């Protein structure tokens, strides 16, 4: 459920998974206007739907209609996955767990120094999850530094975690000491594939993990810079995949067919 829904890749990914497991399930887009959110949640529950993904602009507003919210999602204050469980509405944030899992394919977050660019919803989900997972320090830099400050203050209030924050003029110094760089901004997203990246290869070091949440194109301008610097590129497709994989598990209780879901995404992305 979202509004406007645009061109979501989730139906392709989940329907491929259902088909491969021979499950008589279907994932369909529901455009739901903000004023209809409550009725939509109640209607889905009454209809016996197993669950939904929730996206912009409902990720925060929907909390009001949830009976039970999963720990990290409660701290983040946003959910992207609902499960209807015998009339109980459970809320989860698999953007957060998806971000963590994408990183943990290539590194260990515990004890790592993390730099996050951007301070919107995706940055918030990643920052809370990585702080909870034991990142040693987190720096949040944003075009509007005030928003980075608000996010850092909220982390201090809710987690007792003191993140650093500021504007993009601090990028150079911050990248130097980082183990993990996460770009949550839309820089480099199709059709602006030749945007100047926020961080160039000359600022990166060997072994730095560079996770660009942009997944279209799969190989963004930032990830090309990472390759040039012998850093470790992590495509946004990994987080997209894992947020879906985690949601699939929550809804179905079954082991998600990871390869099938990944192939489905890669077939439709450049």
Task: Give the binding site for ligand ATR (CB under 6 A).
Answer: 118-123, 142-144, 147, 184-187
For residue 211, what are the CA distances in angstroms to 14, 116, 161, 175, 251? 24, 10, 22, 13, 27
Residue with the closest Cβ to ligand ATR?
Answer: 120
Q: Which is nearer to ligand ATR, 4 or 253 (CB)?
A: 4
Backbone region of residue 19 per phi and psi (left: phi > 0; alpha: psi in -120 to 50; beta: other values): alpha
Q: Minimal distance in Å, beta carbon 195 to ligand ATR?
A: 7
Q: Which lies closer to ligand ATR via its Cβ, residue 174 or residue 185?
A: 185
CA dist., res. 70 & res. 82, Å (int): 10
Known active-site residue 59: yes
Nearer Cβ to ligand ATR (46/56) = 56
State the minimum distance, in angstroms, from the CB of residue 95 to ligand ATR: 9
Cβ closer to ligand ATR: 98 or 121?
121
Question: Which of 182, 187, 207, 2 lies closest to 99 in space, CA to CA?
Answer: 182
Q: Which segments of 25-144 does DSSP mark as H helices, in order?
A: 37-47, 71-76, 94-104, 121-132
84 neighbors 41 (Cβ within 8 angstroms): no
Q: Minimum Å distance from CB 214 to ligand ATR?
A: 9
Peptide bond into 4 cis (omega under 30): yes
Structure token pair of residue 186 = 């839309």
- Residue 78 CB, nearest distance to ligand ATR (Å)? 9
Catalytic residue among 59, 83, 133, 266: 59
Residues labelled catalytic: 59
């Amino acid at each position: 459920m979202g509004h406007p829904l645009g061109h979501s890749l989730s139906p392709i990914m989940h329907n491929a998974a259902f088909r491969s497991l021979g499950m008589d399930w279907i994932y369909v887009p529901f455009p739901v206007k903000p004023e209809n959110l409550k009725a939509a949640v109640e209607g889905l529950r009454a209809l016996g739907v197993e669950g939904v993904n929730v996206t912009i602009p409902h990720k925060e507003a929907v909390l009001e209609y949830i009976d039970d919210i999963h720990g990290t999602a409660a701290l983040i204050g946003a959910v992207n996955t609902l499960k209807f469980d015998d009339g109980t509405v459970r809320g989860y944030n698999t953007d957060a767990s998806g971000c963590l899992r994408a990183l943990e394919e290539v590194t260990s977050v515990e004890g790592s120094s993390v730099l996050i660019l951007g301070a919107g919803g995706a940055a918030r989900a990643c920052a809370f999850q990585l702080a909870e997972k034991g990142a040693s320090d987190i720096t949040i830099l944003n075009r509007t530094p005030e928003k980075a400050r608000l996010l850092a203050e909220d982390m201090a209030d809710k987690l007792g975690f003191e993140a650093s924050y500021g504007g993009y003029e601090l990028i150079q110094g911050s990248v130097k000491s980082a183990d993990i760089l996460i770009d949550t901004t839309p820089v480099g997203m199709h059709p602006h594939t030749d945007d100047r990246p926020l961080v160039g290869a000359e600022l990166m070091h060997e072994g730095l993990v560079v996770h660009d949440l942009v997944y279209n194109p799969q190989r963004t301008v930032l990830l090309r810079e990472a390759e040039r610097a012998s850093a470790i590129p992590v495509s946004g497709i990994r987080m997209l995949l894992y947020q879906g994989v985690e949601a699939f598990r929550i809804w179905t209780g079954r082991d998600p067919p990871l390869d099938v879901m990944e192939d489905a995404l890669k077939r439709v992305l450049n």
